Structure 1
């Protein structure tokens, strides 16, 4: 895949705006988005990027739009982002202006659209490699954008990619039941389910079976390896405030991994607590500030 994999779509879209905000915002995320640790003059750019990603994600996750409609809307978002169209996607226009001011390339936003177009037409993943390829476009661009915005070296990208992939997989595990019920979408690798004697529909149960627990644990084992690779990130980041933020996020990823080890995502949403955030911030400030 590449950021130029624009599927053809002929579905009609609204003339005013293709975007339809779901109501979710930064407060609904597991991890800090444009927090106070980000330098004041950069926060508006992070918020512009987040708004673009949020609106594109809402299109891809719509339960009422057809796949063709979703792709047509996402294509318009990219056209506005790149300046090929002047209007039709306010968050894309805002991000275009932000990128022009900050000097950051549009590739990190355009690559997100690759994943969202994929979400419009694909609802199953064959194996871990396929899931990691999806994360390369759905998650890695976020970390790369923030690092580029701060002028960090590309040597930070591998550790950042690992962290972003970890966060994405953890989110998939948190939401696995809801994704299946609302969108018939399953990010749990099909080969892992089959080897354990499970079916995708088992995710719709009210509680996790022992066999499905083994699948979740296998995914968490692989996620722990991502967390280990991500642990190097804070030490590679030059900007002090961003270094602290990445340290906090890597700690939170490890904590959420542990919570999912002992929690049942089919029975209720396993999530971080205020204590988790406070502990991660305190430890990270003490070591990396």
Structure 2
């Protein structure tokens, strides 16, 4: 079974590998339902989806029928205003056939404008607070693709969790991530990880080998699993692997047999990271 770690101030347990909604995007409903059932059988209880993931919500809703009470369901919104975020929240609840989300997140917070709109008057954060009071969401979080915006968000609101790229190449070659991990720990905010198995950027004009990955994932099982173990050796609760099913299966093996990365393995990763362009970096 996939190992579990505590989430939030109440310390409820989440599988250290999360099921990203992109895994069921563009799949037949029968296959989507099979993938969800298989994941739950393996001990995965953390599911994360968003309206921006194509038809993922439409596929995940039916796949989770009669399974909802045993999982931790996280959703997100790219909307930055109170009214639009409320509309999108209601729509996501309907598609996912549930009356509440365990975690609702501001999605892909990247720019200063994102920050100002979402946290300002009539911003999306007001919807989150209202929804929590009404029992529609249990926890409030955000995902970010910017160190600066992540740090500012952690300072202005008492978030329950942050979903952030925690990646070996970003850490070694981009100085992207360590400062966010430190701040989240100081604020006692749970850290959820993205992009653990990412390798580098895809050069402009080059075709994607994996359509569901906008970056170049590690297509070498041993290295991919080592990179994931690097991420899970940081103070994170869980990591969501890439949306391609092959990588998810590799991640499950790590989740079942996780051991912290060793000093020797860290050196291997540093050597392998040399000359790789990080998918995110601090400019």
Q: Higher helix fraction: Structure 1 or Structure 2?
A: 1
| TM-score normalised by the chain length of structure 2 | 0.32
Q: Higher strand fraction: Structure 1 or Structure 2?
A: 2
Larger Rg: 1
| TM-score normalised by the chain length of structure 1 | 0.31
